[in-house]
Every structure is written in C-alpha cells, then in structure tokens.
Amino acid sequence: MLLLGIFLLLAACAHRQESRFVPADPSLAPVHELVATPFFPQRQYQCGPASLATLLTSQGVAASPDSLLALVYIPDKQGSLQAEMLVAPARFGLLGVRLPPDLDSLLSEVSAGRPVLVLQDLGRGIVPLWHYAVAIGYSLEKDEIYLRSGVERRRVYRLSVFLESWRRSDYWAMVVVPPDQVPVTARPQAFLKAAGVLERLSRYSDAQVAYLTATQRWPDSVPAWGGMGNTAFVLGDYAAAGEAYRRALDVDPDAVLLMNNLAMSLHRRGCRQTALAVIDCARSRRDLPLLQQTRDEIAAAPDELKSCGDFSCRVTAP
Amino acid sequence: MLRSNFLKRMVAIFVTISFLGGYSLPAWSGMATTEQMLSEQFRSLDRDSLVSMLDRQDVRRQLIEHGVDPAYAQQRIAALDDEQIQALQAGIDELPAGGSVVGILVAVLLVLVILDIVGVTNIFSFIHSPK
C-alpha cells in the first residue's frame, strides 16, 4: 500500500512542469471559492448522486444522494451515465446545462457563483476510473482548483493535474440553473436541450419560462422561438404560439417545421384559409409526410370566413 | 410479404402500447417537436417514430438488466432525447459511468500485481515472476 502511494505520488509529480494557466477573460477573479457549497460524502460508488445532490441543494432543492439513486444510479455498472446526470435536474423543475468543454468556462461559472459538476478519469490512463466531482473554487495564484470529491470535502488539485484527469472525459461539465437563468458560458444548443427535457417530462410551464429566457438571451435563435411556440400550443394558447412561430420565421423564412406548427396553430383557431396558405408554402419547399398529413387535416376542416391575417410565402432563390 | 410486415407492425404496436403508459405522443400529433427543430435535420422526422419507441424499450430493458428498478426505468428513459437514447441503445456497457473512488485503489493494485506476475515490474517482494 505504501509502495502504491509512492507510485501515485510519482505519477502526479510527472505532470508538474507545465506552464501556468492564463484565463481568456482577463477580468476573471484570480481567486474564488464557493465555501458555502454543501457537501455529501459519497458512499461506495455513488459519486454521481452525491455530486448531483450538491448542485441541486445549491439551488435550494432538498435532494439527498439517496433520493437520487433511483434517478441516476445503475447498480451493475456501479456508476451513473452522463446523459442521465444532465436530465435529472428537470425532475425538480431545474435545468441541467452542459458547459463548453474548456477550463475558461468552468472557472467563469464558479466565479459567477455556480458549482460545476465534472467527470474525471482518475485511472491515469492505466485503467478507466470514471468519477464525478464538483468544482467549487480555484486560485490562479496558487495554480489550484478545489473540488467536493468522494469522501473529501475540499480536495486540492494542481490545475495541470486536474486538467489531465478531466481531458479524458473530453472536458465534460455541467451546471444546474433555474429556468429563468442562463449560465454565463452556456451555448444556445446546450441550454435549449435542457429546456427540452422539461418539455419531454410534460413540465410545460417550466419549459416555457426556459424558452422565454432563451429568446431574451438569443433573440435570433429559431429553436428558442419554436420551443416558445410549442409550449404555448400545448398549454392551449394558440394565438401566442402563432406569434412565436412567426418570430422564428422572421429569422429563418425557410423553416418548414415552424410553418407546419404555425399552420396547426392557425387551424386550431379556425383560420382555415391562412393555415392552408402557410402549409402550402412549406410544401413548396420540402416534401415531408408530416406536411402532407397536416395539409390533409386542415383541408378536412369546415371552411370558415375568419380573418387571421396574411401570410406571405417568401420566394427564395433556387 | 405485405402480411408479415403488417403482422410485425401490429406486434410492435402492441408491445409499444403495453409498455408505454403515458408517452406523450397524442399532444404532438401533427406537430413538429422542439427536439426536431433543434436537431436541424430531418432524420428524426423521416425515421419511423415506432422505431424510435422500440429503441426506447431496448434501453429500458438494458437498464433493468443492469439492476435498475423496473418501476423507475420507464421514467428514466422518458427524460432522454432520441440522440441520447441512440447512444445508450448502442450499448450501456460501452459508456463511461462515473462512480468509483473506492474501486480505484483495488483496480490499480490489481494492474500492478498482474504486471509483477508477468515480470514487467518488481514492486511486490512476495510475487516471484518467472525468470
């Protein structure tokens, strides 16, 4: 055991000659630590539930590692899958957002007050030993990063050593936020995927808040407006849904899926003529079974002389 | 041919319905989902939605085989998107599952013992490798 310890120490020393990390953002605080972050020492192989409980509790949700076993733990694998870690916060009405795979993003989130869940490989390249931990602080001056990890409340890593263990998971990291907050470094795709989980779990009101937040942060995001429209549609507000779809079509006039849904929202309001104009516009661009099915459904509806505004099918260059 | 295809479909539909209590398809009948808009490709649209549902059942079965309580397996797959389902369907065993810390020491020790036995290293004095 002593020899093993020496071996590990030697392996750790081998990485220490690298140069210091210089953050891309020069205004990043050189030292920051979220000392109030809760700690759940892991039992056995349950670092996934323990790390997730740390993030959820930081967001004010009372979730114990034991209560999360049923959501993210796979007994025979003695571990948790990344996909399930990302979607689990939606059960509590929160968003699990994947971060861009780099240290700058991780440190920016920590300095913005959010603990960051990371996947490390502690096997040093010999055997894969996947481990979840939570980054809660760093010191660029000391070249250190601090994690709630396993049974250690404050594990100190040299940045280069941490990076090496993190690199093997392709720098996988996530944060948990309420639906009305966007993580400072999040990309639209990652945020919208998180919102999509709420939608899949039929938490439409929570999902709508997330999509609204996304449209405010990224006003030109077509899927953000699409999600806004879809949640309004499911909640029965067809006028608001149509408004959101039109906003998306202003950005991308060729988005046939949005035209399909706009046509459906008009159809539900009894606007047969306008709905037909929209769906025919979509069909002129692309031949999809969904579009034909929608057209058949609208065409079968009784003709109503209801005015629902115009729809101009923009001609695009071939 | 037509008949066997029809039968296959009926069996698939029956299996699907019997497993998928509460799958929220009816609300989306005729609608493109946000997930499809986000993927910005039409693969998921062109793909038979039944195939996607059968993939889900396969992942559910894999979870149960790996010791997940069947009562929770259904809920767990419901939260995943098609892309995640396909990654899991390809084989849960191939994916990294973060969990071990206690296991690390045991595993590294095992590797060193094996290296010692085959004579690559000579760390443990009690292991005599063949000369």
Q: Are B98 and A189 an interchain contact pair (Cβ–Cβ within 8 Å)?
A: no
**What's the pLDDT at A45?**
72
**What's the pLDDT at B130?**
55
27-86 in chain B: CB under 8 A from chain A: 27, 30-38, 40, 42, 45-46, 63, 65-69, 72, 76, 78-81, 84
| Summary mean pLDDT of chain A | 91
Instruction: Tell me if chain A has a CB within 8 Å of the CB of B102.
Output: yes
Q: What is the DSSP string of A114-152?
A: --EEEEEETTTTTS--EEEEEEEEEETTTTEEEEEETTE
Distance, in Å, from the CA atom of A166 to the CA atom of B106, rounded to the nearest integer, reads: 21
CA distance B11 to chain A (A): 23
| Overall average pLDDT of the B106-113 stretch | 71
Query: Could you count the other beta carbons within 10 Å of the beta carbon of residue B18?
Result: 9
Residues of A in contact with B93 (CB under 8 A): 77
Residues of A in contact with B81 (CB under 8 A): 193, 196-197, 200
CB pairs under 8 A between A and B: 182
SS3 label, residue A77: helix
Query: Which residue type sits at A277?
Result: A
**What's the pLDDT at A88?**
97
A304: pLDDT strictly greater than 50: yes
For A24-177, the fitting CATH number among 3.90.550.10, 3.90.70.10, 2.20.28.10, 3.40.50.460 is: 3.90.70.10
Q: Choose between A315 and A232: higher pLDDT.
A: A232
Residues of B in contact with A45 (CB under 8 A): 99-103
Contact A131, A150 (CB under 8 A): yes
Query: Which residue type sits at A318?
Result: P
Residues of B in contact with A90 (CB under 8 A): 79
| Overall average pLDDT of the A265-293 stretch | 93
Residues of B in contact with A95 (CB under 8 A): none
Q: Which residues pair with A135 in a beta bridge?
A: A116, A147
Q: What ipTM does this complex have? A: 0.82
Q: Are A74 and B33 an interchain contact pair (Cβ–Cβ within 8 Å)?
A: no
At residue B113 the predicted structure's pLDDT band, cuts being 50, 70 and 90, is confident
**What's the pLDDT at B18?**
43
CA distance A20 to chain B (A): 28
Residues of B in contact with A260 (CB under 8 A): 30-32
A219-299, what's its fold?
Answer: 1.25.40
pLDDT per residue as tens digits for the range A171-184: 999 999 999 999 99
Identity of the highest mean pLDDT range in A93-97, A273-277, B13-17: A93-97
Q: Which pair of structure tokens corresponds to residue A273?
A: 């003529």
Tell me which residue in B45, B68, B101 faces A74 most closely, judged by beta carbons.
B68
Query: Which residue type sits at A272?
Result: R
Query: How far is C-alpha B123 from the geometric centre of its chain's CA atoms?
Result: 40
B46: pLDDT strictly greater than 70: no
Q: Which of A109-113, B30-34, B37-41, B124-128 has the lowest mean pLDDT?
A: B124-128
Angle at A82 between CA A78 and CA A87, to 5 degrees: 115
| Overall average pLDDT of the A266-287 stretch | 93
**Domain residue ranges in chain A:** 24-177, 219-299
Buried b (16+ CB within 10 A) or exposed e, A246-268: bbbbeeebebbbbbbbbbbbbbb
